[in-house]
Copies of this chain bind each other. A is one copy, B any other.
């Protein structure tokens, strides 16, 4: 009834545990005949190596830790999918931690994962202190940042989208369609969001389009708040013909408010989102939006991390990926005539 160990196989086959170990790990320097015999017995007895023992010895767990903002948010669940699927290919498991947008929880998780001996870390949250990264650095465990750029410990690996570029994409799209009065539904000013606002302003300047602070909404954190802000905005529309929403959820809230005001998209108001969540394509009016390659974020970060784990030399020169987002044209933006 006891779990069968390498020693048992050793006894049964007559070979030393070391030879068994070599067979398990597919090392060379084992006579084919021996290998076959051992393999046969292993199969027969259903032997399976003990991960704990192996990890204790090798200090490797074949496990990576993933910290994300909120698993329920489709942005992150798609990213997580990318990580998990990729990890599987390389025989890694993923411990998923859900920070729920809390820096404290994120940091707690981070320490926990390190304590648990994960081989590497993928950090896909925005809110954490820079000190933390130095902390992890000290532990000499490879990690890659996703969604957050950081150049301060010089050799930090990250994958981010070019938010400034994405912001321009959205603004320029509307400008090209002839819009001049564009309302910006803002979220809290964190990193990417700041870049996109900056991009918006630059595009306006470059096109000699006037704007002031009335072109920006209050800060909005979810679809409901977005609905209310949009509702308020629509009452005295003042000639605005388009809305840029900080993300797709915000855009969905706005869309609802626009419909409820008996207005049409894009005839009365053009609307553009950000992120390209799956649902946006099946909305009443399919949303024009900026695509963030969420799955790729997950995939690439996992690939890079596993590379760093497997080959410390390659880990030395950091990989800093800045991905250009893409404009996804659907039906929510129209031309001004």
Binding site for B on A (CB under 8 A): 48-53, 55-56, 59, 61, 63, 70-72, 74, 77-78, 80-81, 84-85, 88, 93-98, 100, 112-113, 115-117, 223-224, 227, 252-253, 255-256, 259, 278-279, 282-284
Contacts and interface: CB of A to CB of B under 8 A. Distances in A.
Given A94-B96, A96-B94, A72 B77 contact: yes
A153 B40 CA distance: 32
The majority secondary structure among interface residues of chain A is helix
Contact of A74 (B72, B252, B282): B72
B115 A93 contact: no
A295 to B, nearest CB: 9
Nearest to A65: B93
A84 B63 contact: no
Contacts of A255: 284
Contacts of A100: 85
Contact of A84 (B71, B224, B253, B278): B71
A259 B284 contact: yes
29 contacts: A49-B115, A51-B117, A52-B55, A52-B56, A52-B61, A52-B117, A71-B81, A72-B77, A72-B78, A80-B96, A85-B98, A85-B100, A88-B97, A88-B98, A93-B97, A93-B112, A93-B113, A94-B95, A94-B96, A95-B95, A96-B96, A223-B282, A252-B282, A253-B282, A255-B284, A256-B282, A259-B284, A279-B279, A283-B284
Given A94-B95, A284-B256, A51 B84 contact: no
Contacts of A95: 63, 93-96
A75 B81 CA distance: 14
Contacts of A59: 52
Contacts of A96: 80, 84, 94-96
A98 B282 CA distance: 24
Nearest to A116: B51
B282 A284 contact: no
Nearest to A59: B52
A53 B51 contact: no
Contact of A56 (B56, B98, B227): B56
A79 to B, nearest CB: 10
A50 B117 contact: yes
Given A52-B55, A115-B51, A282-B253, A72 B63 contact: no
Nearest to A85: B98
Given A80-B71, A84-B98, A97-B84, A115 B56 contact: no
A227 B282 CA distance: 10
A294 to B, nearest CB: 9
Given A71-B80, A80-B96, 13 more contacts: A50-B56, A52-B52, A52-B55, A52-B61, A53-B56, A71-B81, A74-B77, A77-B77, A81-B98, A93-B113, A94-B96, A283-B284, A284-B284
